[in-house]
Structure 1
Amino acid sequence: MDAPAVITACGAEVSWGGAPQAPETGRIDVQQPAAQQKPVSTARKAAHAKLLDIQTRLKERSEQSSQAKSEKIEKVWRESVSILSPAAKPARDYLANRGIRLGSARYHALTDNDALRFHPALPYYDVVVVEEPDSQGNLKKVEKVVNLGEFPVLICAIKDQKGELITLHRTYLTKKGGKKARVECPRKMLPVPDSKTITGEAIPLANPVNGVLGVAEGLETALSGYRATGIPTWPTVNANMLENFNPPKGVHTLLVWADKDKSMTGELSASILKERMEKKGVKVVVLLPSQPIAKRAKGIDWNDVLLEHGLSGFPLKRRLIQLIGQDF
């Protein structure tokens, strides 16, 4: 796979107005004679033409860039296999090591919307600083995009409300699977095509049950809630996407498995989502881990709870029924 191209373009919308138009008042205004209007100079015409040419080329470049992004996303998706495939064992081993051990029925439910897959070998690109001689032979530091090798990858599809693919979230794993790869950023998202947006969307795993859907920031957190309760839970990738999440039609209750951060980011995002949804008539139940945050940790999420306390760290089913107001 070729290294990603980086294209930077800056442009501004410029409005070029002509002569002022007469207001629709039924009154006829007397226009100034054409002879009194200042003629457009040749230089201004040339500048105008040059700007239009630049805008056209920038638009074409943007469209080409967007098309290239879409083609890369689709290529990676085509090359990936179902999480149920025998080839996807490294991904299932990784989830099991995170305490997420699912039975056959729940694993099959995760494929309801075909949003969880595995890729056996994707290149990992990173920016590194190297020293290179300049024209005078002096060494200077420059940044380069380099391929650090290929890794097995857990692939998640971010889709819109119609089920159309927007982009992919990737979790790079060790060669043998079971753990995150030892790279600077093992979790990455492919660039979003310019014609699309991920605002309000999520990774649609198992379908909602009886109008109830769980939601969380990270994949592991979402799957921990699903593992503990059986309530289908969708990851939104990050806090910003969580607070802007829009559930699919038919969902009347959201169960938010919120992150407990020292920065309060997780709680704030959950609160914003709750306020937004309740204005739309959707009931929202926010659940925060009751366990304290470790001194050296930035926070604690529900996957941490699962790893440290097992299923006993989660609310009992009867308590969830009380909070939600129905069985599930």
Structure 2
Amino acid sequence: MSYVDYAKSVTDLARGKWPSILKEIVDTCYHRDILEPNGVCPNCGKPDLYMVPKKEADHALKCRKCDTSLFNGVRVADAFSQLKGRKLLKKIEELASKYDVSVDQQAVPVERDFARKEFDYISDNSIEIFDARSALGLRYLSDRGIDVNNRNVINAMHETTYFVPRVSFYDKTDGVITKGEFPVLAFKVFNENGQHINWWKIYLDPVQGKAKVPQAKRGCPTLTKGQMAEEGYCIPFGRYDETVGVAEGPETALALIELGRNVFSTLTANGINRFEPPKCCKRFELYGDYDRSGTGQKVVVTKHADLSIKRPKVDVDIYLPPERLYVDGEKSLDFLDLLDGHKRGQFTVHEFEQCGFEI
């Protein structure tokens, strides 16, 4: 039998049994990469491997970054194990006769399939934020009060911030359906293991500002905001260092980065509670919003108390905008508001000194 025919025969025999087979063939240090979302690609080394929808039974993996395609379990085993050629096929054949089918061809529900398609669409069509075609995205940030020419901001947005010319939008709130296509400012969202797990989208108006739609800021529907907050997911603008900070929302984080702070961005206030500073951190800075609801203030105080027990050797500082600057009736006051107000002559340097740092 030719090698091609033998490989096809083995592939058919192993269909639906790959998780069990690969666990025996591939070294345990690679199990996470081949069996869980966002594994490390053997070609480019980026944590961007994903299971191809409706190809779960064949264990087909693909890399979003370099487009490497491991279109069945034989290719996966070949890429991650020491066995090659007919020896590899023989081992797979032996194990396939040992295990029962454990994965159906339709293992991923339709709604997750759609969510994955959106994630992949953005990954495939995203443009670097400093590309000339991303001017609308840069203008949105600039209009918000962020200096997009600031060296700290440029470094933070490199490989985290992108622009997509057209992304579908759909929302159904109180029976009212809103749909269309809009340009999107997209930020990579990572989990605590440093794996790209989602995109945080800001739908933009083609002329100026945010799109006039319900919840113009949202993630891909693979994960809800609540799920991402619960798991401590973040936009990794910052770097692992002895001093690390965290703030709610990418715009606020970028404002603090412009001021020289090393800051990661969570997606919600509650995400701050779940964000864990790296092991190298000796000083942790919590930047809260002054919220009408009190949520922004509460989460930084709660996190401070939590870390004083879990990480007593880490110095933790809380920063909040001055209460006296909060305007009654407004939803919140954050550090982006403070920076933008300072640039417009509304606030003085003294306001920042009251927050505990200089500009």
TM-score by length of 1: 0.66
What's the CA shift for 1:212?
A: 1.4
- Measure the CA separation in 1 of the matches of 2:355 and 2:269: 29
The question of 1:295 aligning with 2:328 is answered yes
1:116 to 150, 157, 161: 161
> Structure 1 residue 73 and structure 2 residue 119: aligned?
yes
Asked whether the 8 Å contact 1:306–1:313 carries over to 2, the reply is no
> Deviation of residue 237 (structure 1)?
0.8
Give the match's secondary structure for 2:325. coil
Aligned pair count reads 245
In structure 1, C-alpha distance between the alignment counterparts of 2:235 and 2:300, rounded to whole Å: 17
Question: 1:103-252 residue pairs with structure 2 within 5 A?
Answer: 103=149, 105-111=151-157, 114-127=159-172, 143=175, 145-147=177-179, 149-177=180-208, 179-192=209-222, 198=228, 199-208=231-240, 210-227=241-258, 229-252=259-282
314, 317, 324: which one pairs with 1:285? 317
2:130 aligned residue: 84
Q: Does 1:94 align with 2:104?
A: no
Runs of 4+ in structure 1 deviating by more than 6 angstroms, as ranges, are none
Q: Mark the CA change 1:144 to 1:96 in structure 2 (over 3 Å): closer, same or farther.
A: closer
Change (3 A) 1:300 1:200: same
- Structure 1, gaps ≥5 residues long: 1-55, 130-142, 322-328
Do 1:84 and 1:107's aligned partners in 2 also have CA atoms closer than 8 Å?
Answer: no
Alpha-carbon deviation of 1:248? 3.1
Shift of 1:309: 2.5
Distance in 2 (CA, whole Å) between partners of 1:224 and 1:70 is 31
Which whole-Å CA distance do the structure 1 matches of 2:107 and 2:210 have between them? 36
Counterpart-to-counterpart distance in 2, 1:249 and 1:158: 20
Partners of 1:145 and 1:318 lie apart in 2 by: 43
Contact 2:190 2:196 in 1 (8 A): yes
| 8 Å Cα contact 2:245-2:285 kept in structure 1 | yes
Q: Displacement, 1:319?
A: 5.2
Report the alpha carbon displacement of residue 241 of structure 1 after superposing the two structures with TM. 0.9
- Aligned in 2, Cα 1:107/1:265: closer, same or farther, shift over 3 Å? closer
Structure 2 residues not aligned, in runs of 5+ = 1-102
Name the % identity.
24
Please say if residues 249 and 267 of structure 2, whose CA atoms lie closer than 8 Å, have aligned partners that are also in contact. Answer: yes
Structure 1: which amino acid aligns with 2:170?
Answer: Y
Q: 1:258 to 1:297 in 2, by over 3 A?
A: same
Query: Computing the radius of gyration over CA atoms, which structure comes out larger, 1 or 2?
Result: 1
Deviation at 1:318, TM superposition (A): 12
Quickly say closer, same or farther: Cα 1:222–1:211, change in 2 above 3 A: same
Per-residue CA distance 1:208-242 (angstroms, 9 max, x = gap): 4x421221111111111111x21121210101111
Per-residue CA distance 1:31-50 (angstroms, 9 max, x = gap): xxxxxxxxxxxxxxxxxxxx
Assess if the C-alpha contact under 8 Å between 2:187 and 2:199 holds in 1: yes
Preserved contact between residue 138 and residue 148 of structure 2 (Cα < 8 Å): no
Distance (whole Å) between structure 2 residues aligned to residue 98 and residue 285 of structure 1: 26
Conserved in 2, the CA contact under 8 Å of 1:153 and 1:171? yes
The equivalent of 1:6 in structure 2 is: none
Q: What is the deviation of 1:95?
A: 0.9
The Cα offsets for residues 171-228 of structure 1, whole Å up to 9 and x where unpaired, read as 1111034x1112222111112359xx631221101324x421221111111111111x
Hey, what's the Cα distance between the residues in 2 that align with 1:309 and 1:172? 27
Query: How large is the RMSD of aligned CA atoms in angstroms?
Result: 2.9
**What is the distance in 2 between the residues matched to 1:297 and 1:317?**
21
